[in-house]
Amino acid sequence: MAESTESAQRAQYLSFSLGGAEYGVGILKVKEILQYEAITRVPSTPRSVRGVINLRGAVVPVVDLGVKFGLAETEVTRLTCILIVEALLEGQPTVVGVMADAVREVIELGFDDVEPPPSFGTQVRVDFLLGMGKVGKRFVLLLDIDRVISADEKEFAEAVRDGLPEAEAPALDGADAAGAAAAPEPAAEAPPAP
């Protein structure tokens, strides 16, 4: 009986890395994990919305948590992935993708393993955090994904639910964007010698 009570008080989280820190999302919020795929940019979206993906025929907005937390845009590598999560938007469950540098592991935490969110020293607003999970000698920042998805992103997610704007632009992944930025200008011809 005591074991079942203890088990009921423990919760599982999926941990992932982003910008050098480790975060966790309640496992029940995570619907699936996708390897990074091409994201279609959509004009006039909040900066934190990277674009949309086609998930088996459904249009799903993808939030770049790096931008959301005030960091640089998440760089795409072979480990980059998209967590498909279900966030509550005004009480309605809505499927949203969030980008992560890499998925780490499923962790299980008891009540005593979670410390209150720190008032300073993290890259994330305190109200985005459920707390800090103690895993061995390290801490995992536990996200309240319902709060992370803000009003602007909720508005875009609702627009996606109702149908996207007609104007869409193809995505540039990080490598393409970097390549485009680094493309040299054609050299000007030197004037003939007098």
Tens of pLDDT along the chain (194 residues) come to: 455 555 557 899 999 999 999 999 999 999 999 999 889 998 888 888 999 999 999 989 999 999 988 888 999 999 999 999 998 877 888 899 999 999 999 999 999 999 998 777 667 788 889 999 999 999 999 999 998 887 667 667 666 666 655 444 333 344 333 333 333 333 344 444 44
Measured between alpha carbons, how far is residue 16 from residues 8, 56, 72, 131, 151 in Å?
24, 24, 17, 15, 24
Q: Which two tokens stand for residue 138?
A: 């390290």
> Positive or negative CA dihedral for 9, 10, 16, 19?
positive
Determine the residue type at 77.
T
Determine the residue type at 180.
A
Q: Compute the distance between CA of residue 113 and CA of residue 138 in angstroms, rounded to an integer.
A: 11
Out of 1.10.8.10, 2.40.50.180, 3.20.20.70, 1.10.3080.10, select the CATH number for domain 11-163: 2.40.50.180
Determine the residue type at 125.
R
Please name which of 167, 127, 158, 129 lies closest in space to residue 44, comparing C-alpha atoms: 167
**DSSP letter at 1?**
-
**Burial environment of residue 124 by CB neighbours within 10 A (0 to 12, 13 to 18, 19 or more):** buried
Match 């979670």 to its residue by tokens: 114
Q: Which two tokens stand for residue 169?
A: 């632009």
* Beta bridge mates, 17: 22, 102
pTM of the entire predicted model: 0.74
Q: Would you list the domain boundaries of the chain? A: 11-163
**Is the distance from CB of 149 to CB of 87 less than 8 angstroms?**
yes
